[in-house]
Amino acid sequence: MARLERQHPDADTELHFTTPYELLVATILSAQCTDERVNQVTPALFTRYPDAKALALATTDELEPQIQSTGFFRAKSKSLSGMARAVSERHKGEIPATMAELTALPGVGRKTANVVLGHALGVPGLPVDRHVLRVSNRIGIAKGDDPVVVEQQLCDAMPKAKWTKTSDTLILHGRRICKPKPLCDKCAVREDCLYYRKTSRVAAAGRPVRKPQGTGSTAAAGRPARKPQGTGSTAAAGRPARAKK
């Protein structure tokens, strides 16, 4: 992690916010959406609804067109409206600072709660998204596809004060380097990476790479080309011509 942090010294959440409320709204909107798109939508939204009490007064019909470009806008509008009402009614308009209270809010899961805790409330949290899952499993510093299990493994391995930075670094590494098709030649930890070791052994053994389905010709795959039906003569196909009556 120290080497990855040196490779990504700017690792931080890429969502724009000034208050815990704004980060909570932005994180809810970021589900299945890029941070860049969310950052385009939130300035107007925060101007119109500067706090949870203001957002609680908005109807879902009013919210939907304002957040439509983030995708899943109907579900997100319900989450935002429900969250804002709960914050207003249960917490006097203030975003709560515990995992239990945050995850009790509509539309707020553990990952979202960890983002808000770690980046806006000063409470260590380790959000686990698809990037953290992919990178940590590939490198070999965690094992499993359950975000809660991987979060616990990483939290056990890292000092509490480093939890948020660990998540930010793994997320950025997943976006820039360890993509679904990884750029291993640019990775700072490839020598310690289980995925890189495995792929290197396969390459060193000279095993052939599987040919993608539906590409190239049959001849290139070492099989005789199949003759299209209804073209050419029977003689060309190696059969005797039939005599005319």
Spell out the SS3 assignment of the chain.
Answer: CHHHHHHCCCCCCCCCCCCHHHHHHHHHHCCCCCHHHHHHHHHHHHHHCCCHHHHHCCCHHHHHHHHHHHCCHHHHHHHHHHHHHHHHHHHCCCCCCCHHHHHCCCCCCHHHHHHHHHHHCCCCCCCCCHHHHHHHHHHCCCCCCCHHHHHHHHHHHCCHHHHHHHHHHHHHHHHHCCCCCCCHHHCCCHHHCHHHHHHHHHHHCCCCCCCCCCCCCCCCCCCCCCCCCCCCCCCCCCCCCCCCC
167-171-173-179 Cα dihedral, nearest 10 degrees: 140
Identify whether 12 is a catalytic site residue: no
In whole angstroms, give the CA distance from residue 234 to residue 239: 5
Query: Which one is catalytic: 76, 111, 162, 165?
Result: 111
12, 35, 51, 129: the catalytic one is 129
How many CB atoms within 10 Å of residue 32? Answer: 10
Tokens 């997320």 -> residue: 171
Active site residue 181: no
Which residues are the active-site residues?
111, 129
